A and B are shown apart, each in its own frame.
Chain A
């Protein structure tokens, strides 16, 4: 399996990438970590005319916490985030989700924004961005705009990004005091694509549950704080609303059951995590496992 021929351009700035995208549109593809795109090229499922390699573009490698969010530039790898010493305090949900993303060797090169731009319905990072009400920063030669995660994912591998736009960065809102987070995933083997993954965010009043791997995109719902039978009923309704399909890997019934089970566990985790997080002294520092 070898890619079809293409022209290659190493990109030095977001503006440079946008200028080419304005001219070439979908004939040009952004190459960030390439952990999805290169496989797609090797299998010749895509044959772009030109690759725009942003992996060494310094302005897009920025990672900074500002205005209540962690802004992750388009060329920041998943490993950079995973090994960030302050991640456990800033984004506990990502700390739990990142080890589920493929494997160490792939996270070393795969990018955070690239996974979100790719929009695989079972992928962990789109799910977390949605659960946390994050945003995607899009830039074109014409203008820049911010799109809420809720509006960004529009279908299977489909997003609101226009053909002349670059995903410049993504923004994950930082954890606030009193919030708790849960993440659960089922896959056939560790590191495989999730059959179903669930993220839960709880605070003193509300509960937000996001489910990946079942519908054609990650889907989030907001609830009042629920426990016991009320939670089970809500998760059951949610599971049916996602309109799971029968596929060789997993039946619709299995996926609904996973939403119910993983959902309950993720919510319990989030509620427990919330009480732990009310006492800042009990938050353990250090690197993710």
Chain B
């Protein structure tokens, strides 16, 4: 591959929340800034910019990771999912309008106050619950340790995630019985 030189705009293509997108970036632009400034996806929040707070967590090819510790160029050809895509992916069919089940549970449990950390936590939980579908409270807390929330004390966040895990397991079981 050729060297992509500094101070020049380079084109990259990606799938953002299922939609093909094409944009340009300098090599040094962080993925977090690229999402917000070039693609207008301001739901991804920027906190500490050194990987500690977790606010900027997005899914790249399904895997939850810090967008402040990635370069925009590194998602060339990848599928990126941000909070804007969460409702479309999982929700739409319940009474909470267009919220996904995780988002609806956060609302129900008052799992956010200012909401700054929520997008990152939701993207982490979205990946993690697919790998650990029936977690214990301790496991949820371990996963959540990668995120800082300064409002809620975490308790309602843990409750919301456990609630979703239970609901998904119940739905799965009901589906299996019908088959």
Contacts and interface: CB of A to CB of B under 8 A. Distances in A.
Interface of A: 1-12, 34-35, 38-39, 42-43, 50-51, 53, 55-56, 79, 83, 99, 102-106, 108-109, 189-191, 289
5 contacts: A34-B69, A38-B70, A108-B63, A108-B127, A189-B145
Contacts of A191: 145-146
Contacts of A102: 146
A9 B73 CA distance: 10
A53 B27 CA distance: 11
A188 to B, nearest CB: 12
Interface of B: 1-7, 26-28, 30, 33, 49-51, 54, 57, 63-66, 68-71, 73-74, 124, 127-128, 131, 139, 142-143, 145-147
B127 to A, nearest CB: 8
Question: Ordered nearest first, which 10 A-B pairs have the shortest CB separation?
Answer: A103-B146, A8-B27, A5-B6, A39-B50, A38-B69, A105-B146, A109-B65, A1-B49, A10-B1, A8-B4
B3 A9 contact: yes
A34 B60 CA distance: 15
Contacts of B33: 2
B54 A105 contact: yes
Contacts, number: 106
A102 B54 CA distance: 12
A103 B70 CA distance: 16
* Main SS class of interface, B: mixed
Contacts of A106: 51, 65-66, 69, 146
* Main SS class of interface, A: loop
A125 to B, nearest CB: 17
B128 A104 contact: yes
A101 B142 CA distance: 12
A289 to B, nearest CB: 7
B131 A83 contact: yes
Nearest to A50: B3
A147 B124 CA distance: 37
Most buried by A among B2, B50, B51: B51
B64 A5 contact: no
Given A8-B27, A8-B71, A108 B65 contact: yes
Contact of B64 (A2, A38, A55, A108): A108
Nearest to B128: A104
Nearest to B29: A2
Contact of A105 (B28, B65, B131): B65
Nearest to A56: B74
Contact of B146 (A51, A53, A104): A104
